[in-house]
Amino acid sequence: MQRRIIITLVDGFHHRYLADTGVIDRMLEQDIQLLILTTAILKERIENSPLGKNPRVTLGILDEVKLSKIHRVHLFLIINASRKLSRTLNVKNEMKAKTGKLSYLASRFARSISSTGLYSLMLRIAGSAFSSSRYRQLLNEFKPHLVVFSTPGQKVNDLPLIYEALRQKIKTISPVYSWDNLTAKGPFIFNVDKLIVWNEIMKEEAIEYHQYKAEDVIVAGVPVFDSYVKVLHEPATNKKEFLSQFGFGDDKPLISITTIPTIYFGSCHRELTLRILNFINRGMIPPSNVLLRPHPLDETDYTDLEKNPGVVVDYYGSTPTQNVISKWVPREDNTTHLARTMKYSNVVINIASTITIDAACFDTPVINIAYDMKDNPQEYVGSISRYYQYTHYQHVVKVGAAALVNSDEELLNALNTYLKDRSYHAEERKRLVYQQTGDLDGRAYQRIADAIINAM
């Protein structure tokens, strides 16, 4: 009997995680009928791809949820009532206490009633706001054996379908997209039946913070890193070709700066780049080329930086007009391009980003910026130094896989150290990669697909 699966792709990041990596193609090696629910812009892309032309694949639109007041009450109660908090959430609550007294007091109130009948009643009433007659009908007609969610309810557009699937007792599973998802976003709104995670650390987090049983959490690795295995073994001659697309020769070291969303660091990556250019122009570090790679949610205008010789802004897979995440569509070779950027950089600079692991996969040195560069206190909330206290990032800090710098002087010293000898911290980077990805064997996509099929 042909089995039926529904899968949601809430945005471009999750399309990259499950479609571009080959997870869905691997699933289709089995005799299944697949219904993919996604955004209009991603639906159009899939329709024009081999995946969309597969006769066993049907495409539909994932409803965009507009949160009502009752929705917000339910989300607030779940997120703020947990008594078992990760270090990340404690840090965030400390920030609430400093910057939003009312918000902090409301959080305390939610926690104080979390074990009462009133709390349970409020949850039932507010949770029912996520019911959806459209999804109820869809589930009744398609009769899936399994629903695969891009997120375990951490993107609101997944929530109505999760609500209806759980109500109908249909099996559910979610491949967790990122290493911070289990500790940085609070309790799940509705718990799916099974999770697929990167590593044993995340498995323990699912058990401790989300009350999962060990047998319901599958460790599979990181599918977006699968393409890195091939790039790792590319011949050294490819470096010249890669750098030439930016107008760079291979006679100078490459310093790559990868940005984070504007909300977390404002437009301060401009200032960071200018300070590094100042080091170069004053002969304080060796002559170098600088590649700036903006995040899809970084809205900063960097055009003036490219007037500086030896500076290129690499909008590959991310343009200034695509900063709304629901409209971001990654290029098919997005991860391969990122992999080559990491491999052929002499040093990578970021602020508490997953990019640290990407770079470590290629044994490329990493500098983490832990000090602020804002002139305007309103540029972003608080200090970026707190990001290094977050639960997931503490693993990088404790292993010592990156140079954590707290001043221009420390940044200068770290640049000179790594540009002189990239083997510095090599053992620490190796430990980080194994800790977070296990064996980097290029087969995580197979393990995820097989775990999904076996969950039916």
Is it the case that residue 323 has pLDDT exceeding 50? no
Q: Taking residues 334-361, report their average pLDDT.
A: 96
Mean pLDDT of 267-290: 97
Q: What is the pLDDT of residue 302?
A: 94
Amino acid 74: pLDDT: 65
Q: Which residues contact 109 (CB under 8 A, 6 or more apart)?
A: none
**Chain segment 151-198, per-residue pLDDT in tens:** 998 888 999 999 999 999 999 999 999 999 999 877 788 899 999 999
Q: In CATH terms, is domain 225-437 a member of 1.10.3860.10?
A: no
Give the highest mean pLDDT range of 64-68, 212-216, 295-299, 371-375: 212-216
| Domain range annotation of the chain | 3-63+132-221+443-454, 69-126, 225-437
pLDDT, residue 316, reads 73
Q: How much of the chain exceeds pLDDT 70, in percent?
A: 86
Over range 363-376, report the average pLDDT: 96
pLDDT in tens, 222-236: 999 999 999 999 998
pLDDT for residue 396: 98
**Is the confidence at residue 309, as pLDDT, over 70?**
yes
Residue-wise pLDDT for 3-62, tens only, equals: 999 999 999 889 999 999 999 999 999 999 999 999 998 999 999 999 999 999 999 999
- Cβ 426 vs Cβ 363: under 8 Å: yes
Average of pLDDT values for 417-436? 97
Superfamily of domain 3-63+132-221+443-454: Glycogen Phosphorylase B; (3.40.50.2000)
Q: Please provide the average confidence, as pLDDT, over all residues in the chain.
A: 89
Give the model's confidence band at 296: pLDDT under 50 very low, under 70 low, under 90 confident, else very high.
confident
Q: What is the mean pLDDT of residues 98-107?
A: 56
